[in-house]
Amino acid sequence: MSVLRLRAALLGPARLRGAGISWSVLRNYTSASAKEKARRNGVCERTELLEVLKARVKQLQASNVPEVTVNKAELAPLRNDKYQDPLQKVVAPSPAEEQPAPRGRGESPARPSSWVEKLKKEMYIRQLKVERKLSIAASQLALEGQVKAKPKGKVKAKAKAKKTLKSPKAKVAAAWSQSHAGSHRVYAHSKPRVAAVKEGANVQKPRRVLEDKDSSQYKILQQTIQSNLECFLFLQQPEEAERLLLLYHSSPVKRRLLNVNAYNIVMRSWARKGRLQRINRLFSMLESAGLRPSLDSYAAVLECMGRSQSSAKAIQRCVQQLKKDGFHVDELFQKCLFEEDEKETVLRAIRTFQPNYQLPPPPEPQTSKSSLLREFYSKGKMVSYPKLDFSVQELQERFQQQLEMELDNTVTIESVESTKPLTPQAIKARKLLATLRSRWHDSILQALQKSKRSMSKHKMVSGYNILYPYLCLLPDEEYVGIMLQILNTLSPQGESLAVLARELGSKVYNRYVTQRKLRSRQLEKVQEVYKDYIHLLARDSQPDKYLPREYWEKLVAEAGFGPSLNLKDCSWPYVLLMRLGMHMLELLVQAVKVPRNILNPHLEPKLIPVLYHIYSFRSSWQVGLIKPHPIFSQIVSDAAETLLTFNSSAIPMLCPPVPWTSPHFGAFVLNDTKLMRFVDGAIQHQLLLEQCPPVNLHPVLDALNQLGNCAWKINQPVLDIIISIFNDKGNEKLDIPPPISEAPRPPVAPGNSSTWNKSQKHELLLCKKKAAEMHSLRMDALYKLSIANYVRDKVFWFPHNMDFRGRTYPCPPYFNHLGNDVTRAILLFAEGRPLGPKGLDWLKIHLINLTGLKKKDALQERLEYANEIMEEILDSADHPLTGRKWWMNTDEPWQALACCMEIAKASRSPDPAAYISHFPVHQDGSCNGLQHYAALGRDLIGAISVNLMPCNVPQDVYSVVAQQVEEFRKKDAEQGVKIAQVLQGFISRKVVKQTVMTVVYGVTRYGGRLQMEKRLKEIDEFPEEYLWEASHYLVKQVFNGIKEMFSATRDIQNWLTESAKLIAQSGRTVEWVTPLGLPIVQPYYRSRSTVLNCNMQNLSVKNSNSSQKPDTVKQKNAFPPNFIHSLDSTHMMLTALHCLRQGLTFVSVHDCYWTHALTVDVMNQICRQQFVALHSEKILQDLSEFMLEKYCSPGRETRALWQKKLMEQLSNVPKTGEFNLKKVMDSTYFFS
């Protein structure tokens, strides 16, 4: 049986999803009877025993030395009371450790060769045992007939399995089986599944993770240990922290995972208690582990001495030792992060023997050396920071409101559907739901407490328990509240286990971080600093020539004492979040029940689960879902509840955001926000930002602060019209989703569904799919409109962060200016500016841009057209739903309506130039990706076609490509090419637009063909039988057309692609630094899955970390678009910073820039200046030099062949054309 425990460590993801196990066995409903469960479990275990033995034999045949592929962070199996050492499967023990024979703590592990020698001596005995076990298991399986043979890599016939086991290495499986029996308890009801064994040369040695201390995998293992220790520090349980530390310290192999930070956390635990003797012992352990104390180690000792009032002599000896280790006392206060009163306590200790010691002065602020921002940061050019239209008092009150909202963690708001009248049925259903929720609260609380008691007992018996401390960080009521919140928001279609587990784990983590900030008194300090910070922004305070980041840093430096504003890193590994979430989900599924007869009194009053665990297929993957019972969905539907609960981070901020000052600090007051977004589990981006000199990040931080400081308000008349349509069955044409009641009804067919024919089943499937889509879209719109309605009378802010390429995004996820037409239409700048002499004209041009009617016309012609249709514009503004509804037939109807209303108000005012407008006017880049390529390559023809060259009318690259493709088609048609003849009259701008736009972002011919096919399908007259052939032909011609037009662009794209390919093939990921100094790494690896063994089902968690090989295809295909995205974000940030210097309001949606109508001309000028400045830098040469230095180590006399090839490739920078970049300054349609 202990072999079952082993298999999760041995085998990887390829075998996870039911290899060799029939669907009937895998389909595990949580509501199954105990007897049925036991039968299924037995079948699974016997099946998997066969698989493990078979896989292990194959592995041993491939190699003389038994080696194990060990996945990262494979924690102990998730059971209610069976959590063991969290890394017992992550770090494969040395072979010697696996021997059943006892060994002293200090002994070094035996060499692998002696392990093999021992195995050989026991060979024949083990072989007989394995054969007997296999025979019994196989015969039982044959009798039950549950497992069907699969063609490849599955369980084979018994005879063949026996035959395979006659290999002399086969007995090793039994050796493993016995060695594990001694160290792990295996429970009969567990359901581990198999993941793949790497064979032969691919097998990873057990210690490889521990040897590569720079790998992400190694760091994640360290992070797991440290987050557990941090839990005990937070819970004020130093004994538990030390016990866990000893568990690793006492094993020579596991000890390698301990770095000095792990020992420091335990030292801090004891320092708070003033237990100097314990800290001395930890120093001895640190020395025995071969580690040197760090500054934090000495800070902990001095804090302890300060608390225990040690003698001046003892403290002096400690300080002397600190200096011997190469540190200085001043560094304690410059580099260490302190919580609560730690800083004062350390200072008190030092002053015991050095009474006149003074804190070191704060370091001089550094200034960015970026050549693009030399003028921006020069002191001579500094101007006062723009003021907001609020007093200090008002901003202070808004800060208090925001703080209260974040302290509550969640915000409950009225839904926009609340205006509907209440029916008697809804009142009855709401009462019923309230009663049920009260019961569920009690049963979840009991289940949680029972689970914790069980874990606590188990911990006393058998050592360390992984999840127990994480379930003690918050009051029990908070865990129950989090679980009920998930239950209340579950869709009737269900949700995947992975999504729910991640959400539950993340909610606990976020609340823990909030509690840490409160406990460490960090919040008190943020409050003090923010109180002074608002003087920079308030209208009734003195102007100051500081940027928000600089002013905040100055205030923090002046504050001196108190906790650090950056908390010591306490982030939890992704796998741990998932484990915690899965455990909470299991408790929820077990505890929440409803009487079966609650809606139908004729049924028996039996309790049934509210949540069901089922499996579904998404393409070829089998996915576990949690689905609510139809009874629960019916009650919720009948209740038609009108309250929505969100995390406080989902609501726009009610005060200006805290400025970003480092990768760890900024945005919300309390909510934990990352500067850079990345995929779950990835840590390489954060490591790169931490290694980057802080001064290099200043331009990026200042740009994010500038975007976040833009104040917004709601366009109430437009919001009210949208809500009225939303509550009146929606309108798909206007992008307002109809309610689920409008979904198509499934076919009504006689008899049981099992007797339906294929077309009836297909129609039912389509109806279900449509209903699920409608529900999703409706809820998305409901959230956005309800949040907008909640802040309808408020001024609010969107804090920003960025993705790994530097592209910026607002942090609140639902309602923000990056949303669709509906969302953008209800947003206005809170600050108003007079229109000025040209403002009304810009509003009219903006309106025509939104209609999409005059894209090829000059600005003057668009303005004249707007004046011609003024009657339609005013009618739309005055009678949006009852008039001629001109606005409804535009590309962006809601923004067009909002603009019509603004034009009507301005044109009817006594003096339009003096009219105060809050309306954002947009200026869009013209195929912005190609603009950057054309500028990089100084490509004249390309530059003309994307409006880098001045022209009287806008050049439309899509029309030009369409014309070129049409010429190719004509030639081919004349030569008798059938498909070219079929396509006559079907080639248009619309057909080629998407492919031309995405070629620059790395679309392949395969992806381009699918785009073409989709466009052709939309043309009713196009013969369907030619779709494939026509799309194949067209994509080829579009690529040829772009190649001819943008020759330099293709050269650069090919150079970037080929460079990335060679870098990835050498085993490295592609990295670069943007012209503003932001370091970037592409996070594409050959992802491998970690299998979480859980009660409900095993969960495959994909890992993407730098200890794995890069995914060459993704690295090479993604580099050109990612590089261009990093340039367009650089251009946007430069524009944002220089707009700030000119006193403009500026926000962006990637390559679409927004400002007031008054300042459009100024923004246009800045936008062009910064584009020219950016591309005047030696961007490609700098990239080449950076990569040569990074990937081709200098000074080697004998280089590998791949390295010579890479050097040659990176040195061969594409040649540039003749285009004069300064021409962009006079190009009207560059951004328009």
Which residues are known to be catalytic?
Answer: 924, 993, 1151
Distances (CA, A) of 315 to 199, 308, 311, 318: 57, 11, 6, 5
What contacts 24+ positions apart, CB below 8 Å, involve 370-375? 370/699, 370/1075, 370/1076, 370/1077, 371/1177, 372/699, 372/1075, 372/1076, 372/1134, 372/1170, 372/1173, 372/1174, 372/1177, 373/699, 373/1076, 373/1134, 373/1137
Bridge partners for 1156 per DSSP: 920
- Edge to edge, what strands does the sheet with 495-496 contain? 495-496, 621-628, 611-618
* Interatomic CA distance for residues 671 and 409, integer angstroms: 8
* Interatomic CA distance for residues 783 and 475, integer angstroms: 29
Residues 1224, 1168 contacting (CB under 8 angstroms) = yes
**Amino acid at site 253:** V
- Which of the 8 DSSP states describes residue 491? -
Q: Going by C-beta distance under 8 Å and a sequence separation of 6 or more, which residues neighbour residue 315?
A: 302, 305, 349, 350, 352, 353
Residues 56, 61, 67, CA angle at the centre, nearest 5°?
60
- Which of the 8 DSSP states describes residue 348? H
Residues 966, 1081 contacting (CB under 8 angstroms) = no
Tokens representing 802 are: 């960025």
Tokens representing 333 are: 């206060």
- Which of the 8 DSSP states describes residue 813? S
Residues 310, 349 contacting (CB under 8 angstroms) = yes
* Interatomic CA distance for residues 74 and 235, integer angstroms: 25
- Strand duo 611-618 + 621-628: pairing: antiparallel
Indicate the burial class of 154 (C-beta count within 10 angstroms; 0-12, 13-18, 19 or more): middle
Per-residue HEC secondary structure of 873-925 comes to: HHHHHHCCCCCCCHHHHCCCHHHHHHHHHHHHHHHHCCCHHHCEECCEEEEEE
In three-state secondary structure terms, 1063 is helix
Residues 367, 377 contacting (CB under 8 angstroms) = yes
* Interatomic CA distance for residues 349 and 832, integer angstroms: 56
Distances (CA, A) of 21 to 1, 3, 43, 925, 1094: 18, 18, 9, 55, 18
**Amino acid at site 8:** A
Tokens representing 658 are: 């805290």
